[in-house]
Structure 1
């Protein structure tokens, strides 16, 4: 993971060259400054990953990426850039044409692909395409039961997953009668019950209203606090700015950028090539700096930090 560096000093804890997640700050701030964050162990990596549909339409070209434990990664790019195809390869749903995928140093092959799916879960954009059971509890128990776990172990996992996603009171309800946000939580509970350590979310807020999108973001924080690693494909640059530690940018099946969001969005060539725009708060801070209101290169991750910066 690219390091996150400070421009702030003294009594300016919210003025940064690169955005920090709030949870890091108590541990990482020393002497009024922010130090570089070192990621955890590499849990998933690709080497020269290539994939094409029917051997004709190239979807991924020479993708090299490493994912470290407990990272929060936003995956950006226009429609057809390769984001979803990359996720389906990382989860073992698709098999690469060439290149390698390694999970904790072990190369993934046809023989051990099922093992990969135990540890790397995926939540699709449309929950209705993922839910198959007649009740919420049955849906969440499907994965653990297919692992042929003891009955009591399945029950423990299901109960904990339902509680984690605030679904206990809905366990006997048919999932297809739930709201879009509730269905999304059922899909996440599926992966929690599998005790996966890496979660892939394919445009998870695309069909959610603002309230359920905010609830979903709170769920992400809960998963991260449980020690999970999170990758989210999204078109929402403002979400990426405030949430992600790192961003991957795809264009035409290639990974064209891999860095902290603040550095990604300062690269005009990446913004143009991937059809992105700068986050609103980044633009606001740049305009404030142009008027001499804040130091040049000062950025904040959310409106609360902006308020603190302007009122100090």
Structure 2
């Protein structure tokens, strides 16, 4: 990574997109000081993070890894979710209550007595998310949250990302799924060769062919259909729902009268 200038603002969802090796995961791991920069600095809530103050970053920025098994360490789901609180010295009764509240937030209360490593991939993601939420961070980082999930589980995770955002927590995620990014993100950051090469709203980024080509990315299907059908793209649909609405609007317009010039024309 080099020359990266990246900020996360309150109350936003940011999606990092780019090809394999673009630097998405590496950038994410700097946000909570899992990795620390050799040059430059990490600033959390206005305070630069030093080697002696890594805990500040890790309490303010919760990280859900792509491989959920790497952060599931306890014999039961409930034990796992309250593990971080107990490390911070929270009394057992309070830790249990907060862990159950976090599981309820992600609709995973029914899993509290299960053994984490026997859960499905989607269930593990929800438990990992609850284990981060319980620490009450201001930012949650998700590395490829849909990796390996079927469509139903992907929708479930996407729903919870939106729910977390509605509670006032900023979300930063990396993804190869541009349909997902278009649906949930307020801001898209395009990465290539270890740097952020462009950013903007989904409409700005996904209708910028030069930027996407530079990062070897293809726009979401709604963008491709809008262009291929000659749809007026002033509204710039980026999701399937927006495309359907745009198509319905174009079909409801009255047909244009064509003027025919030439011999015998009125």
Please, what TM-score do these two structures have when normalized by structure 1? 0.77
1: CA distance, partners of 2:225 / 2:158: 23
2: CA distance, partners of 1:269 / 1:192: 38
Instruction: Note the alpha carbon deviations across 1:114-160, whole angstroms, 9 max, x for none.
Output: 11101101111111122111100000011111111223321221111
Q: Secondary structure at the match of 2:80?
A: helix
1:71 Cα deviation (Å)?
A: 0.7
2:239 paired with 1:302: yes
**What does residue 11 of structure 1 align with?**
none
Structure 1 gap segments, 5+ residues each: 1-59
Q: Report how many aligned residue pairs link the two structures.
A: 249
Give the RMSD, CA atoms, in angstroms.
1.4
Please, what TM-score do these two structures have when normalized by structure 2? 0.89
2: CA distance, partners of 1:307 / 1:207: 28
Q: Secondary structure at the match of 1:242?
A: helix
2:169 paired with 1:228: yes
Q: Is the 8 A contact 2:220 2:239 kept in 1?
A: no
**What does residue 207 of structure 2 align with?**
266
Cα 1:264–1:305 shift into 2, 3 Å: closer
1: CA distance, partners of 2:233 / 2:69: 47
Structure 2 gap segments, 5+ residues each: 250-266
Q: How does 1:12-51 map to 2 (within 5 A)?
A: none
**What does residue 285 of structure 1 align with?**
226
**What does residue 157 of structure 1 align with?**
98
**What does residue 182 of structure 1 align with?**
123
Which of residues 72, 79, 87 is equivalent to 2:13?
72
Q: Is the 8 A contact 1:84 1:202 kept in 2?
A: yes
Q: How does 1:97-112 map to 2 (within 5 A)?
A: 97-112=38-53
Moved over 6 A (4+): none
Q: Is the 8 A contact 1:286 1:297 kept in 2?
A: no
2: CA distance, partners of 1:178 / 1:301: 34
Which of residues 6, 23, 30 is equivalent to 1:89?
30
Which of residues 179, 182, 192 is equivalent to 1:251?
192
1:298 Cα deviation (Å)?
A: 2.6
Cα 1:286–1:194 shift into 2, 3 Å: same
Q: Is the 8 A contact 1:91 1:116 kept in 2?
A: yes
Cα 1:113–1:286 shift into 2, 3 Å: same
**What does residue 207 of structure 1 align with?**
148
